[in-house]
Structure 1
């Protein structure tokens, strides 16, 4: 961070960069403010040699910075390029790209969107680690880099200092996740509202993969999901959810999976965890009370779920995000 405590983000625009994804970090991180409305992030765009680069949209981008911006960054974000739409020929990066990335300092957080995962893979940063990429190139990505634990079903993977996102809007999901990780739910939710996007999305990439169009139907689980969100502290069963949707258990479970990308039970647990996280960050309620209000019943149950999903206890989570306020 710089002397003001602002987190420095460098966005590396490669030749052929997708213009939409290039703008995501500036839009999301640039919207984050502290309680005094001071920027929490300083976002700059750079290229490997300081020269303009082509975009996928018929215009060029003249960045204000060259590769020296990578040396000063706390986080480096690499958006996708059309050059990797069908994968990457070989497993070596062009020398200018490799040289620019070699200027990134140790301890820097590195993020890829979509097919920019090939860049991180070619650098060896993903060997033996979990990662994702756009589902369209996932099979080629796994074949090209068999040491990577590719998960093509998720929207993004957070492996600490290296994070990978799936296609297009998943870059927004990942940036919001980083704001939440850095500064808590309140700041991330405010950014999401300003950007007119949900603070998190249900499910993963599976719901967006091309499939045969199902038979038209008016039945949906949306109303039941909204109903469940108002009753998270109640012990909702699958049977109660199906009954509210006026579907059989089998039909409801199948329809829910198709619409959300997750089984009902996993979705419900995820929503309860988000509520618990918000309560831990924004209140001084005892852990047992938070657990009850979020629908986990007991503090022990909440502790087990938080350790399984987040790797921390409720108390440790609260200490972390109370310190960021």
Structure 2
């Protein structure tokens, strides 16, 4: 019997001096068997998962897909979060902690050209990978991935809820509130949102027709060539008129079963999160979603619900939150 799916997982707040890294377990099925991709690093003569350190100001999901590309030549999109690895690194009696955030991931493109740090890659079965992995700690991610596969919950798509970024305060705005813009910090948050949505492969962007919501997801839409789909039902005014319309919009996204982001406002989030809570059979996950409905999201924060199936068969199997920098 598989363990319960992880509850809400926000990439960790780490102490100053901690080495922050991210990586992914690329997976595929071959003749019904689960296979995973390992990389060999000649410098250390070890087999491990593709991973690497975050650049300054980089998001954890963005770093994971970048490192996979740099080390394997493969573009990937992230799926469910996997257990973190926490250990000490250093030499000569001086060490510091290192935290590695992992995700399951699917290859979507790429030529497989290897980076200098990697001289060989191998697609292996779970048993083969377990034997070849150099570090015992790397087996924890493999176990979690195998459990998800056995439970039929490894093949997921992301439904992303975004609270709009920081805005010019209401007290300082004299025009129509629907036209109230982002402030400088909000525009920065919107830019930092781009690699997160890219990492999860978002292909459809729905937004409140308020300027502050559209501007939050506009940088992502512009970079990817996607069209923003404005929905009055996701606005505060539309919610005041008929609260059920926002939930129906989310229901349509679930029925469609395509990687999607919905950008909206604080008053709408509790209803949307409670609706998502009804779509999981994991009591811990359900409780976490309901807690998020009560506490809300920060401005510019992203909640990613990993969904297996669509329509009436859709099940939320994992959820993670990414706070704005």
TM-score, structure 1 normalization: 0.33
Which structure is higher in helix share? 1
Q: RCO greater where, 1 or 2, for CA within 8 Å and sep 6 or more?
A: 2
Which structure is higher in strand share? 2
TM-score, structure 2 normalization: 0.33
